[in-house]
Each structure stands twice: as structure tokens, then as C-alpha cells.
Amino acid sequence: MANSLLILTGHSQGLGRAILDEYLQKENFEILAISRTCLGLDFSQLKEISLDLSDLDKLEEILENLFPKGDFKEIHFINNAGWIGEIKPVGKLKPSNLKKLMSINFLAPVYLTNAFVEAYQSQNSDRIVCNISSGAAQKPVSGWSEYCSSKAALAMFSMVCEKENTHSGIRFYSLAPGIVDTAMQDQIRSVDETDFPDLERFKSYKSQGALFSANSVAQKISFLMSNPTRFEGVIQDVRDFDLT
Ligand SMILES: NC(=O)c1ccc[n+]([C@@H]2O[C@H](COP(=O)([O-])OP(=O)(O)OC[C@H]3O[C@@H](n4cnc5c(N)ncnc54)[C@H](OP(=O)(O)O)[C@@H]3O)[C@@H](O)[C@H]2O)c1
């Protein structure tokens, strides 16, 4: 039987690390994992690439030869790398941070997805692209104008991809993972309240144990990727999942 393939960005910590662990337990999955940090894990099926996804020139340079060639039984691509950016109200934003955030959260996933479709559109295997979005793609949060906008753009991009690619059989999802207990939430809780009026609410999610564990969310993402016929529609939210 041919191997299956996972391509995963942002695997070095948080949700991405939990997704990586989930797939390392599966048989027959080759894994290509991309973050700035390589973990140096000793698994023959894992290839790690150190890449700063905000460096779009470098990404473009390596894109043509990035994705493994060959016939795969299934190909899963999870665009998970993300950055909350600088939490500040409009009027106090720094253009350099905005460029970096849009590159990581939106443009790099677009570059990668474009290359993915080009590379694998004529294969007969089950191919699924899952762009990790956020509830913030639909809900405005003060101080998060850059982040909300980047995730909304990624969600729309995912919907257009799905509309265009019905003939190639590639499925596309834009998935909100819920509020997950990762370094991103640590960063959100460390911001000054004058820049982020919802600070106390986010602190209370942590103190009341309301955050999802990265492992529990990774299991749900893995379930979605293995059971796409059970998930109609591009926009998905793990909080709506029924795994029974
Ligand atoms: N945590 C939440 O509550 C929450 C809620 C909604 C959506 N999300 C989304 O879920 C995804 C995962 O977030 P998380 O909470 O796990 O965040 P995290 O703990 O901060 O991890 C972010 C991951 O993205 C990678 N990354 C960041 N900047 C990068 C860059 N310039 N180039 C390459 N990789 C980069 C990081 O690796 P390196 O630092 O090694 O590069 C890391 O592996 C993100 O897309 C986030 O927007 C999270």
C-alpha cells in the first residue's frame, strides 16, 4: 500500500506539536513539518524543515521543490502556523508587524496552497487542505484588527479554493480550533488592558479551566481529516464537532 502524506506548518509547539504527535502514531504517514524551530525528533517518517514563513522571498525560492513527489494514498495539508501579532488598537499599529503577520497568517498559506494544488491536483488520492482559522475570523475583537483580518482573509481564500477545485476532488476546510491552552494564549494574557479591553475575560478562561488542551483539539482535527464525508462545508469549528 502506498504511504500517506501529512504536510504541517507550525509543528514546533502548541496545537501544531499536538497534531504532529497525533500523526506520528498513525501508520503509513510520511510527515513534512515546517516551522522556524526544528525539534530534532528521531522518527524515520518525519522530515523537518526550518523556515521563517514571514520570509516570502525565501518561501517562493524553495516552493517548487518543497512538496514530496510520488503517489500517496491520502494527502493531508494543515496550515497551522500562526501569530497573534501585536495586540494594539488601530492608530497604534506598526506597518512592519502588520506585514509580518499577514505573511505568516495569510500570504504564506496562500503561497503554499497554490503550490499544493499545482503539485497534487491530478492525483486520485484523498487530498484535504485544512487552514487553521479562528473564531476571530468572524467576530471582531478590539486590539486584534490584524489577526481577525488575516484569519477572515484565509477563510475566504479557503472558500474560493473549495469552489474552484470541485473538479480536482481536493477538499478545503477553514477550521476554528476553539480557545486552546498554548503559548499564543500566554501572549494574549500578557498584554496591557489599555490595548486589549477583553484582557480579564481571557484571563478568566485560563483561571476557570475553560481552555481546550492542544491534544484534545488535535484529536478532533485528525478525526475531521480522516472523515471528510462527515463534514460538509468549508467553515468548521471544533466546538461543533460530535465525534460519536
Ligand atoms: N491558541 C488558541 O487559542 C487559538 C485560537 C484560535 C486559533 N488559533 C490558531 O491555531 C494555530 C496554532 O496556534 P497555537 O496556539 O498553537 O500557537 P503557538 O503555540 O504560538 O504556536 C505557533 C506555531 O506557529 C509557528 N510559527 C509562528 N511564526 C512562524 C513563522 N514566522 N514561520 C514559521 N512558523 C511559525 C511556531 O513555530 P516557530 O516559533 O518554531 O516558528 C509554532 O509552531 C494558529 O494558526 C493560531 O492562529 C489558536
User: In this predicted model, what pLDDT tens digit does every residue of 70-99 receive, in sequence order?
Assistant: 999 999 999 999 999 999 999 999 999 999
- 168 band by pLDDT with thresholds 50, 70 and 90: confident
Please report the DSSP string for 141-159 in residue order: -TT-HHHHHHHHHHHHHHH
pLDDT beyond 80 at 243: no
When pLDDT is averaged across residues 182-197 and rounded to a whole number, the result is 97
Q: From the centroid of its chain, how far is CA 153?
A: 13
Lowest-pLDDT choice from 143-152, 166-175, 180-189, 213-222: 166-175
When pLDDT is averaged across residues 156-174 and rounded to a whole number, the result is 94
Whether the model pTM is above 0.85: yes
Q: Which residue has the higher pLDDT, 107 or 27?
A: 107
pLDDT beyond 80 at 214: yes
Residue to probe by mutation, ligand 1, list 8, 13, 55, most atoms within 8 Å of CB: 13
* Percent of residues in the chain assigned helix, strand, coil, to nearest 5: 45, 15, 40
Cell of 30: 510520511
Residue 242's pLDDT is 76
Task: Give percent of the chain with pLDDT exceeding 90.
Answer: 93
pLDDT beyond 70 at 1: no
Cα-Cα end-to-end distance for the chain: 28
Question: Looking at the annotation, which residues are catalytic?
Answer: 147
Average pLDDT in the chain: 96
- 39 band by pLDDT with thresholds 50, 70 and 90: very high
Q: From the centroid of its chain, how far is CA 194?
A: 29
When pLDDT is averaged across residues 107-112 and rounded to a whole number, the result is 98
Atom of ligand 1 nearest to the CA of 11: 43
Residue 165's pLDDT is 87
Question: Whose CA is closest to atom 34 on ligand 1?
Answer: 35
Question: Whose CA is closest to atom 45 on ligand 1?
Answer: 82
3-state SS assignment for residue 184: helix
When pLDDT is averaged across residues 9-15 and rounded to a whole number, the result is 98
pLDDT beyond 60 at 202: yes
Residue 2's pLDDT is 64
Residue 166's pLDDT is 80
